[in-house]
Amino acid sequence: MDSFFEYLKAFAVGGVLCIIGQLLIDYTKLTPARILTSYVVAGVILGALGVYQPLADWAGAGANVPLTGFGNALAKGVKKAVAEDGLLGVLTGGFTAAAAGLGAAVFFGLLVSLLAKPKDKDK
C-alpha cells in the first residue's frame, strides 16, 4: 500500500507542475522554450535556496523528472563542487551533476536518429 501512495504523490506533484506549464502556455504570451527555460531556472533557484530538495525527497520522481528537477540537480552539483573545489566549482559542478542525464539524452537521440526513417508529412 505504501508504494501506491508513492506513485500517487509523484503523479500529483508532476501533474501540478504540468498544469502550471499548461496555464502559462494558455494564458501568457510566453513561448514554450521560455517556459521550459523558466522551469530549469526555477529549479536552480529553489534548489539553491534549499526549498526544492524537501519536495523532491517527498514526491520522488514527480519532482525529480520534470525540468525543475534538472535545475535542482544543477544547483546541488554546483553546491557540492564549490564545497570541494572552491570558486572553480561554480563552472564545473552543474556539468558534473547533469553529465549522466545529458549523456543518455545524446546517446538515445543518436540511436533513434539511426533507427528512424523520417518522412515528409506531405507523403
pLDDT confidence of residue 123: 58
Full-model pTM: 0.76
Residues near 68 by beta carbon (within 8 Å), at least 6 away in sequence: 17, 39, 40, 42, 43, 46, 52
Q: Is 96 a residue whose pLDDT tops 90?
A: no
Mean pLDDT over the full length of the chain: 89
Q: What is the pLDDT of residues 6-39, one digit of tens each?
A: 999 999 999 999 999 999 999 999 999 999 999 9
pLDDT confidence of residue 24: 95
